[in-house]
Amino acid sequence: MKKVTVLGAGMVGSAIALDLIADYRVQVIDADQKKLSVLKKKAELQTVCLNLKNKNPLKEIIHDSDLVIGAVPGFMGFEVLKSVIEYGKNIVDISFFEEDAFLLNELAKEKQVTAIIDCGVAPGMMNVILGYYNQIMKVNEFVTYVGGLPFKRKWPYQYKAPFSPTDVIEIYTRPARIVEQGNIIIKPPLSDSEYLDFEEVGTLEAFNTDGLRSLLHTVKVPYMKEKTLRYPGHIDYIKVLKASGFFDENTVQVDGHPIKPIDLTTRLLFPLWKLEDGEEEFTAMRIIIKGEKENNQVEYLYDLFDRYNVKTSVSSMARTTGYTCTAAARLVLEGGFTRQGICPPEYLGENKECFDFIMKELTKRGIHYKLTVNEMSQ
């Protein structure tokens, strides 16, 4: 039986491990023994308590793995990915780090490694879907709206973090790159807010975020943007914090003590944004693809609304992110995807068999992307 090593036992990493255990031997590595102990009670898997900043032990631990899953926080994702590639192991990664993964492309090819990056929901499934349609039609416009939110709204933020809170703040501070008339345009984070209606929860507010990532360079679509969804009013509170300097990285002196405002802010916000055990939340996503197919103007709409699974106690964000990752992992493990080098998810979507496989795997797990096709007037 093939062996998979999952790096990270957080909410998504745990969901990935529990999904793969049905077909593979699974080993999970994390620096938090408590998380590993909880996970081990749920399934027969191996666990190793290790700070993943320690590279030498990692090499020995993954030496007999057929595939590695990267599910660590973004701030350490690039270096972990680099280490795994250097050790010659195929990897599917969801750490969503800031650095350019293509800097490791030649290394991955040299090591004959398949390294699928950003393989979650957004980025992730949105890339897979665009990659597919970009092969069968001329895409002129691509827009993704996506967000993970708690059902219970609590003043003032009406928000809980379904993934690493550090990465959440990065969403609010990183300038957003979008594409207009084929050119990359820089927009301020939290800009261009608009409202969208979702039947299941009502009106949500969307704003620019930097989620296009690899799509900025791998596809030629004249108009592209990615926006994050929140409950209306949330971004006003975030804008106040940002304008007041609470997200600044520069040190300030407080009674003679150097303090980074961002460190204080994260310390205060994390307890407020932490999902409680069993707290119900949802993932909402809408993907719009417009273009030309067989001399007709056509629009494809994909709508996703996924909720916390009460039966398995797996969060929606862990399901939608983690099961996209495990579908890609199965493709690599079973020889369905063998391209070497750095491979963003749109490369998976370019192959119809891979696209269909991922969709079927998600459907098996109760994650449904509803497709609506609209013929548009000339």
How high is the pLDDT of residue 161?
Answer: 80
Domains of the chain and any CATH numbers: 3-120+317-367 (3.40.50.720), 125-307 (3.30.360.10)
Residue range 82-129, pLDDT digits in tens: 999 999 999 999 998 989 999 999 999 999 999 999 999 999 999 999
How high is the pLDDT of residue 163?
Answer: 64
How high is the pLDDT of residue 165?
Answer: 64
Residue range 239-261, pLDDT digits in tens: 999 999 999 999 999 999 999 99
Each residue's pLDDT expressed in tens, for the chain with a length of 378 residues: 999 999 999 999 999 999 999 999 999 999 999 999 999 999 999 999 998 877 779 899 999 999 999 999 888 999 999 999 999 999 999 998 989 999 999 999 999 999 999 999 999 999 999 999 999 999 999 999 999 999 999 999 999 986 666 778 888 999 999 999 999 999 999 999 999 999 999 999 999 999 999 999 999 999 999 999 999 999 999 999 999 999 999 999 999 999 999 999 988 988 889 888 889 999 999 999 999 998 899 999 999 999 999 999 999 999 999 999 999 999 999 999 999 999 999 999 999 999 999 999 999 999 999 999 998 765
How high is the pLDDT of residue 167?
Answer: 74
Phi and psi (nearest 5°) for 23? Answer: -125, -15
